[in-house]
Structure 1
Amino acid sequence: MTAHTNPASPARRGRRPGTNTTRQAILTAARARFAADGFTATTIRRVAADAGVDPSLVMQFFRSKGELFAAVMSIPAEALEHFSAAFEGTDDHLGERVVRAFLDVWEGDVRSSEPLMAMLRGAIVNDQASGQLREFLQERLLVDAVASRAVDNATLRAGIVSSMLVGLVVGRGVVGVPTLTEVERETLIALVGPAVQSVLAPTPPAADDEEAGR
């Protein structure tokens, strides 16, 4: 018996790519681009071209390159928002707010901290991963804190603070330096906060000091 086909019914060619498929294609392209070019050199436009989509579509899924990187690294968006919130408001106690938020993100909820710690461990043994992490943190600090404040050497200040904070987390969570793991968090924040404050929001010299220096 010969099977007959209905010419009015075209053969199915598979499901049309949907939201989940498009999002995954963007993440796959971004993961490869970040690995090849690093965080700083990667652009939304290049990722979009690699994924075969319009750049505006990438921005619909991920509001910034930072959020795209976080998604690639499986870092929840709320972790970034929590860190960014530390920079809101005045400069008073900014350093302590930043250190506390950083420790909250890296040592708090497991869903947020585990991907970050995995990224940090990878950065220690892999130069490429180290560079991506350094660039990512430096840009976050530039966007959230330094660039919005009237300070000189903004990029340098962001790099110094990111190095300080990563070093702190490495000492506590990876290397396990006893003096860092045993100390109470509030004590650590009180000690490190002023140092971060002096870099991000230095106190202007008093008028008397300026006159004395002339």
Structure 2
Amino acid sequence: MARRTGRRPGNPDTREAILVTAREVFAERGFDGASIRAIAAGAGVDPALVHHYFGTKDQLFLTAMNAPLDPREVLPEVLTGPPDEIGQRLVRLFLRIWDSPAGTAGVALLRSAVSNEWTARLLRDFVVTQILRQVTTHLALDPAQAPLRASLVASQLVGLAITRYILRLEPLASTPAETLVTAIAPTVQRYVTGDLTDVFDR
């Protein structure tokens, strides 16, 4: 069967066709392995049309994920300031977002990821490429250690999200955000910049 080519600017379903294909390609190949050209080919449109609707690959990925926000708009808040306080800033921002209306979309996304491997792949790639990679790159962490450090941070934050916003386990579910920052930030800080020699020497 011949592959469809060319633009479909008059078709009201074109944008949705691109999104459906983008989700499939991102889930199959990951963010780094996916390309605008491959997504366009799968949707039967010209790559320029994908750019027209969604801009960059990053923007397309965020739309395909139904991401409640663009990490690039809030990460400067985490990355600006002393490196030894990044744990506090990261946990504080995380809680502020999840306690806001955007948190509702986050809960829906996390619920889906827990029960659906396809969504889990997208969410995993979103966390790694759009958030944690930016943090580890900014801090110039040892490339050999950065992936595990990032995964440890993710385990802490995702665990917090599930416990506080999905399971609603008390008293954590109603504990003031700043109290949680005080309790959790030191662990996150250790994962990001602390001495993990005992972990990496094993």
TM exceeding 0.5: yes
Task: Decide whether aligned partners of structure 1 residues 202 and 79 sit closer, same or farther in structure 2, where only a CA change above 3 A counts.
Answer: same
1:145 paired to 2:135: yes
Question: Which whole-Å CA distance do the structure 2 matches of 1:42 and 1:132 have between them?
Answer: 12
- Residue identity (%): 37
User: Which amino acid is 1:127 matched to?
Assistant: E
Structure exhibiting the larger radius of gyration computed from Cα positions = 1
Q: Residue 86 of structure 1 aligns to a residue in which SS?
A: helix
What's the TM-score, normalizing by structure 1? 0.72
Task: Decide whether aligned partners of structure 1 residues 163 and 43 sit closer, same or farther in structure 2, where only a CA change above 3 A counts.
Answer: farther
Native 8 Å contact 1:86 1:94 kept in 2 = yes
Structure 1 residue corresponding to 2:116, chosen from 122, 126, 133? 126
Residues 140-193 of structure 1 show CA distances to partners (whole Å, capped at 9, x for unaligned) of: 234320022232211111111111101100000111111311311100011111
Equivalences for 1:165-180 in 2 at 5 Å? 165-180=157-172
Question: Which whole-Å CA distance do the structure 2 matches of 1:116 and 1:21 have between them?
Answer: 26
Could you say what the CA RMSD is over the residues aligned between the two structures, in angstroms? 3.0
Aligned to 1:95: 87
1:162 paired to 2:154: yes
Structure 1: unaligned runs, 5 residues or longer: 1-15, 206-214
Native 8 Å contact 1:38 1:128 kept in 2 = no
Structure 2: unaligned runs, 5 residues or longer: 1-7, 198-202
Native 8 Å contact 1:142 1:154 kept in 2 = no
Equivalences for 1:59-98 in 2 at 5 Å? 59=51, 61-65=54-58, 67-78=59-70, 81-83=73-75, 85-98=77-90
Aligned to 1:34: 26
Q: Residue 138 of structure 2 aligns to a residue in which SS?
A: coil
Task: Decide whether aligned partners of structure 1 residues 88 and 27 sit closer, same or farther in structure 2, where only a CA change above 3 A counts.
Answer: farther
Question: Which whole-Å CA distance do the structure 2 matches of 1:181 and 1:121 have between them?
Answer: 17
Residues 22-79 of structure 1 show CA distances to partners (whole Å, capped at 9, x for unaligned) of: 54443232123234445554333322322344546545623343x3222123224446
**How many pairs were matched up?**
187
